[in-house]
Amino acid sequence: MKPVVLTDTNLVGSALKWNCHYLQETLGNNLCTVYLSKTHKFKYFDVNQTKKCDNDFSPPTEKVLMKFQEFAKHLKSWEEGDRRLYMQQLLNEKILNSSQLVNDILTFNWSWIRRQQKQNNWGPLTANLLMISTQGNVTPAHFDNQQNVFAQIYGYKRFILFPPEDYDKLYPHPVWHPHDRQSQVDFENPDYTKFPKFREIKGHEAVLGPGDVLYLPLYWWHHVESLCQTQYTTSLTFWYKAGPTHGSSVTTMYPLEGYQKMAIMRNVEKMLVETLKDVNEVGPLLRAILEGRYT
């Protein structure tokens, strides 16, 4: 599975008119999920995992519910130095009370994407996430565990992509950490002492513009920037569960692929956390297995 940029799918043709004014008309007073950040980085964290971090975890962003009207006002008046906003709202019954918007969604190129889902043996569609970002926002490098068909609607987004096997160069946080799945490396100021193999990293760059679609396979690392050609950027993602990777219907091929090894490593880490109960015992036990035997 490799990422690919497609420029002629017309997947979200009917959404290319979703500018701020149109969305104010159709989303208006609906409450939407908006992340606020003091910096340009919007590093995801799982609030349910913060308790495992004692009290030395400080959330880098704040999640609020904001009327779309209010969000649009901030978006239009935003200037460098203002608090940055990133709306990431599921297209669900909470906001789909405008027949215009519903009609736009119904006229997406569903036949094309259903064909991709079938041909690639993806699982069910789980979510459509509408994302509107003030210019210059960065989603730092991380991977997701679903298939992602990423449609760019307005403005330009720069992706830097890395294969799953770059796991050892991107040093993800531990699976139990709130920043699970996120790289520990600050791309703007990498700590090569702590993360020496980051020096070897080589990424694939893709810049998406309106109408472009990126297929982002699960477990592929991505660093994403909203470029500053426009005041804000708008994107819509189609999330699909990964298809079955083992069992009677699928024969496992060897050698295993990067994403399969990544899944194994994550499962081993999770099993150790579960069994040892103390996250501080995971490292010493893994070292005991490795040192003098597998190194």
Ligand X SMILES: C[C@@H](CC(=O)O)C(=O)C(=O)O
Under the rule (CB under 5 A), what is the footprint of Zn ion?
Answer: 144
Long-range contacts of 57-66 (CB under 8 A, 24+ apart): 57/178, 59/178, 61/35, 61/36, 61/37, 61/86, 62/35, 62/36, 62/37, 63/33, 63/34, 63/35, 63/36, 64/33, 64/34, 64/35, 64/36, 65/31, 65/32, 65/33, 65/34, 66/31, 66/32, 66/34
- Which of ligand X, Zn ion, none does residue 146 bind to, with CB < 5 to 8 Å depending on kind? none
Q: Cβ of residue 252: shortest distance to Zn ion, in angstroms?
A: 27
- Which of ligand X, Zn ion, none does residue 150 bind to, with CB < 5 to 8 Å depending on kind? ligand X
In angstroms, rounded to a whole number, what is the distance separating the alpha carbons of residues 233 and 138? Answer: 12
Q: Which two tokens stand for residue 180?
A: 């699970």
Q: Cβ of residue 224: shortest distance to ligand X, in angstroms?
A: 4
Nearest residue to ligand X, by Cβ distance, number only: 139
- Which of ligand X, Zn ion, none does residue 235 bind to, with CB < 5 to 8 Å depending on kind? ligand X
- Which of Zn ion, ligand X, none does residue 224 bind to, with CB < 5 to 8 Å depending on kind? ligand X
Closest to 113 measured CA to CA, from 102, 103, 104, 124: 124
Contacts of 35 (CB under 8 A, 6+ apart): 42, 61, 62, 63, 64, 85, 86, 87, 88
Q: Which is nearer to ligand X, 149 or 282 (CB)?
A: 149
Binding interface with ligand X (CB under 6 A): 131, 139, 144, 148, 150, 157, 222, 224, 235, 237
Q: Which is nearer to Zn ion, 144 or 257 (CB)?
A: 144
Q: Which is nearer to Zn ion, 144 or 165 (CB)?
A: 144
In angstroms, rounded to a whole number, what is the distance separating the alpha carbons of residues 49 and 292? Answer: 33
Q: Cβ of residue 152: shortest distance to ligand X, in angstroms?
A: 9
Q: Cβ of residue 120: shortest distance to ligand X, in angstroms?
A: 17
Q: Which is nearer to Zn ion, 156 or 219 (CB)?
A: 219
- Which of Zn ion, ligand X, none does residue 9 bind to, with CB < 5 to 8 Å depending on kind? none
Q: Which is nearer to ligand X, 86 or 198 (CB)?
A: 86
In angstroms, rounded to a whole number, what is the distance separating the alpha carbons of residues 220 and 147? Answer: 9
Secondary structure class of 174 (helix, strand, coil): coil
Q: Which is nearer to Zn ion, 220 or 232 (CB)?
A: 220
- Which of Zn ion, ligand X, none does residue 71 bind to, with CB < 5 to 8 Å depending on kind? none
